[in-house]
């Protein structure tokens, strides 16, 4: 008996699973600085500065400031300013405001993202099979309200519900975000649900810990994939392979 016949719900990670960034984040920050007439900052330094700043903000104000009631734009403004400062660029307030507005607008649109060719067909196939489809992502509200619809991933046709950390106040790898997803799906039993993601730590392990089935995508041929397989995870290259496995095979998970 195929796993598909046992499922009532599929939940899917977003970034790295359904969509990806075009280029590197530092590129967009540097282009924003150039757009206001500044010399182009060093891409690598800005990218590394962002990683430091984002990690610090996520630790101090997790889930994009949810618990602190911090407005989304304030969270990002602090993060972006600290990214430049970490890279050695401390702009005056007027200049920074112009740079930030461009960055915030860019990442509130579909411009920096690309959708994998198999994402929309897979989600529509799952919905067509009568499965409830949910998205589980460490992302803020603009993914749900703006970015995903702009990429052609619409609530109602490609997915039924979303659980986004910036709206819920809990984020992966906390297993609670998966319990929220199960409840949002209609209190569906975890053994009737499959989660698909691209991170062993954030997707596979916590989903399994609440009793869900789980598998991982290795779209970018990460060196970690072999360790994932050795740990017992099913690892597939794309959603076409997932559809084939669910239709024709069984999943040891």
Tell me what pLDDT residue 246 has: 94
The model's confidence at residue 236, banded by pLDDT at 50, 70 and 90, is very high
CATH number at residue 74: 1.10.150.720
CATH number at residue 7: 3.40.50.1000
The string of pLDDT tens digits covering residues 140-149 is 999 999 999 9
Residue where a domain stops, chosen among 91, 108, 125:
108
Tell me what pLDDT residue 250 has: 60
Tell me what pLDDT residue 248 has: 84
The model's confidence at residue 185, banded by pLDDT at 50, 70 and 90, is very high
**What is the extent of the structural domain holding 162?**
3-20+114-248
Count of domains in the chain? 2
pTM score, two decimals?
A: 0.93
Residue where a domain stops, chosen among 45, 79, 108:
108
The string of pLDDT tens digits covering residues 151-179 is 999 999 999 999 999 999 999 999 999 99
Q: Residues 142, 119: one domain?
A: yes
User: With contact defined as beta carbons under 8 Å apart, do 158 and 124 qualify?
Assistant: yes
| 253 found inside a domain | no
CA distances from 30 to 52, 77, 80, 115, 235 (A): 17, 15, 11, 23, 36
Q: Residues 165, 217: one domain?
A: yes
Mean pLDDT of 51-78: 97
Residue where a domain stops, chosen among 84, 108, 132:
108
Q: Pick the more confident residue, 68 or 2.
A: 68
Mean pLDDT of 30-47: 93
Q: What is the CB-side half-sphere exposure of residue 68 using CA atoms within 13 A? A: 14
Q: Which helix (H) or strand (E) holds 19?
A: strand 19-21
């Amino acid at each position: 008996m195929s796993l598909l016949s046992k499922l009532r719900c599929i939940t899917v990670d977003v970034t790295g699973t359904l969509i990806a960034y075009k280029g590197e984040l530092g590129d967009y920050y540097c282009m924003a600085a150039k757009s206001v007439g500044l010399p182009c900052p060093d891409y690598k330094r800005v990218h590394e500065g962002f990683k430091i700043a984002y990690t610090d903000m996520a630790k101090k104000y997790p889930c994009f400031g949810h618990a602190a009631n911090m407005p989304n734009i304030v969270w990002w403004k602090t993060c972006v300013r600290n990214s430049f400062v970490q890279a050695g660029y401390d702009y005056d307030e007027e200049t920074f405001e112009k740079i930030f507005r461009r960055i915030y607008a860019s990442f509130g649109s579909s411009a920096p993202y690309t959708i994998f060719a198999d994402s929309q067909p897979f989600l529509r196939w799952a919905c067509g099979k009568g499965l409830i489809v949910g998205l589980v992502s460490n992302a803020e509200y603009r993914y749900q309200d703006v970015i995903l619809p702009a990429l052609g991933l619409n609530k109602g046709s490609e997915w039924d519900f979303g659980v986004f950390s910036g709206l819920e106040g809990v984020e992966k790898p906390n297993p609670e975000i998966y319990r929220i997803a199960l409840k949002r799906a209609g209190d569906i039993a975890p053994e009737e649900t499959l989660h698909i993601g691209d991170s062993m730590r954030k997707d596979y392990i916590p989903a399994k810990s609440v009793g869900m089935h789980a598998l991982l995508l290795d779209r970018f041929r990460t060196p970690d994939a072999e360790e994932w397989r050795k740990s017992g995870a099913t690892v597939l290259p794309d959603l076409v392979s997932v559809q084939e496995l669910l239709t024709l095979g069984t999943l040891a998970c």
